Amino acid sequence: MTTGRHANKVVASVAEALAPIKDGMTILVGGFGLSGNPEALIRGVIERGVRDLTVVSNNAGNLGKGLALWLRAGIVRKVICSYIGNNEDLHTRRASGEITVEITPQGTLAERMRAAGAGIPAFFTPTGAGTVVENGKETREIDGRRYLLERALPGDVALVRARTADRFGNLRFWRTARNFNPVMATAARLTIVECDQLVDLGAIDPDDVHLSGIHVHRIVHVPEHENAFEYRTVRKRA
């Protein structure tokens, strides 16, 4: 009897978790800005020495942190994202032609990965109708409204940050650190999770699981994270 891909998922190190990553792969990386980033996996990919990566991420880093480390390391060939903003590392490399940047509406980015994970090869969406996002895409009027056909966006690997994982890979996320992490986990052939807490089977009630371990293939426990701020906005105590 062979062993399936859902046995023994917990690995001892980031390096072991990332062993399957190869040059030229498409990597989906969870996070919104610097929140919910798989920080140790991001650093580990640089140490692994792969290159020519296509990266799917909402922002591809910022303030020199997160995926900006990959941009600076020169291991990225293409970025598919929704927003560059003040990510100067990306602006610079886009301008020089070092990196190709494909900009997609954020909801379309999420839905294309949701489709990939759900076995839907293509779907119609109203987002971007009548805009430059239409360019090169099939359009159709349905019930009097204009829609674009968007394609599923699968990844070779997803790098995901979770607050809690059990040994099967059932995940819970914390607040808005959830963002793209669960949907990316569904959309990749291999999903690697970096969790703050690792717990035994049964420690999470079945109804409290945010994402089933069916979408998770490797788990590495990383207790310490930087969790960088972008804009620390506060109010004074009364």
State which of positions 142-201 bind other proteins (CB under 8 A): 166-168, 170, 173-183, 186, 200-201
3 Rama class: left (phi>0) / alpha (psi -120 to 50) / beta: beta
With tokens 């430059």, the residue in question is 132
Specify the stretch interacting with its own copies by CB under 8 A; choose among 2-10, 87-95, 119-127, 226-234.
119-127
With tokens 């293939």, the residue in question is 217
Q: How many residues bind other proteins (CB under 8 A)?
A: 86
61 Rama class: left (phi>0) / alpha (psi -120 to 50) / beta: left
Q: Which does 142 bind (CB under 5 to 8 A by kind): its own copies, other proteins, none?
A: its own copies
The yes or no reply on residue 144 touching its own copies (CB under 8 A) is no
Q: Quote the least distance from Cβ 138 to its own copies, whole Å.
A: 10
Task: Identify which of 87, 81, 25 has the alpha carbon closest to the alpha carbon of residue 54.
Answer: 25
Per-residue binding string, its own copies, 164-193, x by CB under 8 A, is --------xxxx--x---------------
Q: Which does 6 bind (CB under 5 to 8 A by kind): other proteins, its own copies, none?
A: other proteins
Q: What letters, b where the CB count within 10 A reaches 16 and e where it falls short, cover 159-196?
A: bbbbbbbbbbbbbbbeeebbbbbbbbbbbbebbbbbbb
Q: Which of residues 58-117 bind other proteins (CB under 8 A)?
A: 58, 62, 81-85, 91, 94, 101, 103-108, 110-111, 113-114, 116-117
Q: Quote the least distance from Cβ 53 to other proteins, whole Å.
A: 20
Q: Quote the least distance from Cβ 49 to other proteins, whole Å.
A: 29
CB 219 within 8 A of CB 167: yes
Q: Quote the least distance from Cβ 8 to other proteins, whole Å.
A: 7
The yes or no reply on residue 125 touching its own copies (CB under 8 A) is yes
When binding is defined by CB under 8 A, the residue of 19, 73, 120, 201 that contacts its own copies is 120
CB 190 within 8 A of CB 155: no
Give the residues across from 160 on adjacent strands: 193
- Taking the C-alpha atoms of residue 236 and residue 24, their distance in angstroms, rounded to an integer, is 49
Per-residue binding string, other proteins, 16-55, x by CB under 8 A, is ----------------xxxxx-------------------
Q: Half-sphere exposure of residue 130, counting CA atoms within 13 Å on the CB side?
A: 4
Interface with its own copies (CB under 8 A): 111, 115, 118-126, 142-143, 145, 147, 172-175, 178, 206-208, 210
